[in-house]
Chain A
Amino acid sequence: MSAPEHQLRIDPVGPPRATIVFVPPLFEEANRTRRTIVLAMRALAVDGFAALLPDLPGQNESLVPLDQVDLDQWQAKLAAITAALDGPVLVASIRGGALIDHRAKAAAWWRLAPVGGASLLRTLMRARASADREAGIASSLESLQAAAQLAPLLLAGNSLSPAMIAGLGAAEAQYVEPLRSIPLGEGGIVGTPLWLRAEPGEDAVMAQAIAADIAAWSKTCGIS
């Protein structure tokens, strides 16, 4: 058994109303959104919630090599983390986080701008093809796809196992209940799609909007 992954936990003063478990976006998108997620966590703690941001195996500070994990392991990890928490849990997923949150033990789910796995995989494959083209190496999405069935493939700095790539290509957000799924922009959370950004940034106004929307959804679900 390798060392357990880090978890960032922010507690309120006094006993928490509930614990909000954030499931970050996948791969590079997690780095681009972490600062804003942490700002939202602080705002939730001020509002009386505990907020938890776990590292997934192979992501962030985890010591597990990324090419040894797949979506199934991430789902199991989130199930274990949420099962070990005391009190009600609300799972808040962003982008690709919505692909791995459905086995969590939770009283409610909240998803911001969920995205299909095929779209994430296509972007990663394209980044590899674009870098190859720049380096004068002939590669195509087809040839990369074929190579990915046999051995881990390096995609934009991520070494992904055949199981991870096959899983991503087919992954869709699964049905959970009660669920609030909210887009970015008009009629949703107003802010910037930081997960697309070439350089990490932060959006404090968006973080406040995320925290307020989660708190309201928790109340609607009768959690707190």
Chain B
Amino acid sequence: MTDSVSETSGVDAALRALLADVLGLGADRAAALTDDSGLFGALPEFDSMAVATVLTEMEDRLGILIDDDEIDGEIFETYGNLLTFATRKVTG
């Protein structure tokens, strides 16, 4: 059994690195993201192409498969929503 806390922090670190890569945030801005930080609609870099890139990279880096029926606008509203979704996919 993997400890769920360390699993979440692993997903968290992977997700921050991924957003830094796709959005060019830099390590500092990526580390400063909180659960309430807005993504789609709040960050100008976060356009529909970036959404698509994030989804494909999440699949590659987290070893998950994302069915596009699972995707709605809410997932990309905040960093917290995206992290919750990713963690559920990894542990589920």
Taking Cβ atoms with an 8 Å cutoff, the residues of A that contact B are 28, 119, 122-131, 133-134, 140-141, 156, 192-193, 196-199, 201
Distance in Å from the Cβ of B40 to the closest Cβ of chain A? 9
A127 touches B22 (CB 8 A): no
Please name the residue on chain B nearest to A134 by beta carbon: B48
B51 CB contacts on chain A under 8 angstroms? 126-127, 130
Query: What would be 10 A-B contacts, judged by CB atoms less than 8 Å apart?
Result: A122-B56, A123-B52, A123-B53, A123-B55, A130-B48, A130-B51, A133-B73, A197-B24, A198-B47, A198-B49
Complex alpha-carbon distance, A130 and B24, angstroms: 20
A198 touches B45 (CB 8 A): yes
What 8 A-B pairs come out closest when comparing CB atoms? A126-B52, A127-B52, A130-B48, A198-B45, A131-B48, A123-B56, A127-B49, A198-B50
Distance in Å from the Cβ of A35 to the closest Cβ of chain B? 13
B68 touches A196 (CB 8 A): no
Of the candidates A119, A140, A192, A201, the one whose C-beta lies within 8 Å of that of B56 is A119
Complex alpha-carbon distance, A124 and B45, angstroms: 17
Complex alpha-carbon distance, A198 and B68, angstroms: 21
Query: Known contacts A123-B56, A196-B53; can you find 5 more A-B pairs with CB under 8 A?
Result: A123-B55, A127-B52, A129-B68, A140-B68, A197-B21
B48 touches A141 (CB 8 A): no
Q: Is the interface of B mostly helix, strand, loop or mixed?
A: helix
Best-buried of A125, A130, A133, A199 by chain B (most CB within 10 Å): A130
Residue B90, interface by CB 8 Å:
no
- Which of B33-54 touch A at CB < 8 Å? 45-53
Complex alpha-carbon distance, A131 and B50, angstroms: 11
Please name the residue on chain A nearest to B68 by beta carbon: A141
A196 CB contacts on chain B under 8 angstroms? 21-22, 53, 57
Of the candidates A119, A131, A193, the one whose C-beta lies within 8 Å of that of B21 is A193
Best-buried of B45, B48, B50, B55 by chain A (most CB within 10 Å): B48
Complex alpha-carbon distance, A131 and B57, angstroms: 18
Please name the residue on chain B nearest to A126 by beta carbon: B52
Of the candidates B24, B46, B52, B68, the one whose C-beta lies within 8 Å of that of A124 is B52
Known contacts A192-B21, A196-B21, A201-B24, A130 near B52 by CB under 8 Å: yes
A127 CB contacts on chain B under 8 angstroms? 48-49, 51-53
Best-buried of A129, A196, A199 by chain B (most CB within 10 Å): A196
Complex alpha-carbon distance, A125 and B71, angstroms: 14
Distance in Å from the Cβ of A120 to the closest Cβ of chain B? 9
Residue B82, interface by CB 8 Å:
no
Residue B3, interface by CB 8 Å:
no
- Which of B3-51 touch A at CB < 8 Å? 21-24, 45-51
Complex alpha-carbon distance, A130 and B76, angstroms: 11
A156 touches B52 (CB 8 A): yes
B70 CB contacts on chain A under 8 angstroms? none
